[in-house]
């Protein structure tokens, strides 16, 4: 359930883009009603999807605050980036900004994990997962490094797709590629970690 909650803005972004692509004239009219006048049909799908993603992310944070739930740092970072990069996309009517947003998010995560481990001597992956797993310090260090590399590669891959493929391909990659690669990485991580977990004691 939490996984779907975290992905909600991405899913709604994809759904809004696909819907707007089937009737760009209506999408442009909706944007006009929101005060974004003069939007052509070519830009209408990506701009409407950007609006939806901004509202969805604000709704996530607002809902958690209203329920007096803790808002993760990752969600605060995502909110800041979607508001800034999405806002620039709408203001300048340039999809490049929203297409760069995942890269900035991934690289922020990678930099945070690396900086905490190498400068502050604090393993954030161990902090997040230490209550569920008992692992040697060397394994925690390798696990943290694996996440640093994963986020760095994902950021570069998003940038590559954004610059070398059309907009629709990037939108599909944002949903299917991002989620698929994340699940594949987590599954591989689980297999690797299983070899380092303490053996269950005999009854």
Grade residue 2 by pLDDT with cuts at 50, 70 and 90: low
pTM over 0.85: yes
Grade residue 200 by pLDDT with cuts at 50, 70 and 90: very low
Contacts of 21 (CB under 8 A, 6+ apart): 45, 168
Supply the range of the domain harboring residue 186.
95-197
How much is the pLDDT for 3?
63
Q: Give a yes or no: residue 44 inside a domain.
A: yes
**Sign of the alpha-carbon dihedral angle for 61, 179, 161, 95:** negative
Domain final position from 92, 115, 145: 92
Is 55 found in the same domain as 101?
A: no
How much is the pLDDT for 92?
93
Is 83 found in the same domain as 112?
A: no
Domain final position from 50, 73, 92: 92
Is 148 found in the same domain as 117?
A: yes
- Here the tokens at position 136 are 């040697």
Is 66 found in the same domain as 36?
A: yes
Tell me which of 150 and 5 has the higher pLDDT. 150
How much is the pLDDT for 134?
80
Grade residue 120 by pLDDT with cuts at 50, 70 and 90: confident
- The whole-number average pLDDT for the span 130-137 is 78
How much is the pLDDT for 73?
86
Residue 148 pLDDT more than 90? yes
Q: Give a yes or no: residue 157 inside a domain.
A: yes
Domain final position from 45, 72, 92: 92
Mean pLDDT of the chain: 90
Tell me which of 41 and 3 has the higher pLDDT. 41
Is 111 found in the same domain as 51?
A: no
Is 66 found in the same domain as 127?
A: no
Phi, psi at 180, each rounded to 5°: -60, -45
Grade residue 201 by pLDDT with cuts at 50, 70 and 90: very low
User: Could you tell me which of 144, 139, 114, 106 has the C-alpha nearest to residue 128?
Assistant: 144
Q: Report the C-alpha gap between 155 and 101 in whole angstroms.
A: 9
Q: Report the C-alpha gap between 106 and 155 in whole angstroms.
A: 5
- The whole-number average pLDDT for the span 118-138 is 83
Q: Give a yes or no: residue 202 inside a domain.
A: no
């Amino acid at each position: 359930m939490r996984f779907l909650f975290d992905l909600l803005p991405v899913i709604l972004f994809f759904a809004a883009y696909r819907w707007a692509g089937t009737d760009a004239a209506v999408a442009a009219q909706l944007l006009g009603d929101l005060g974004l006048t003069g939007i052509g049909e070519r830009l209408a799908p990506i701009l409407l999807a950007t609006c939806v993603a901004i509202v969805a992310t604000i709704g996530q944070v607002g809902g958690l605050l209203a329920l007096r739930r803790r808002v993760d740092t990752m969600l605060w970072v995502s909110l800041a980036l979607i508001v800034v990069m999405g806002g620039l996309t709408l203001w300048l009517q340039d999809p490049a900004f929203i297409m760069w947003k995942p890269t900035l998010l991934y690289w922020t995560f990678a930099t945070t994990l690396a900086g905490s481990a190498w400068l502050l001597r604090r393993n954030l992956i161990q902090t997040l997962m230490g209550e569920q797993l008992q692992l040697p310090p060397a394994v925690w260090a390798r696990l943290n490094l694996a996440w640093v590399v994963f986020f760095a590669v994902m950021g570069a891959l998003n940038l590559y797709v954004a610059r070398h493929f059309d907009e629709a391909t990037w939108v599909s990659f944002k949903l299917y590629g991002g989620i698929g690669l994340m699940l594949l990485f987590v599954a591989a991580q689980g297999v690797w970690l299983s070899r380092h977990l303490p053996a269950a004691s005999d009854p």
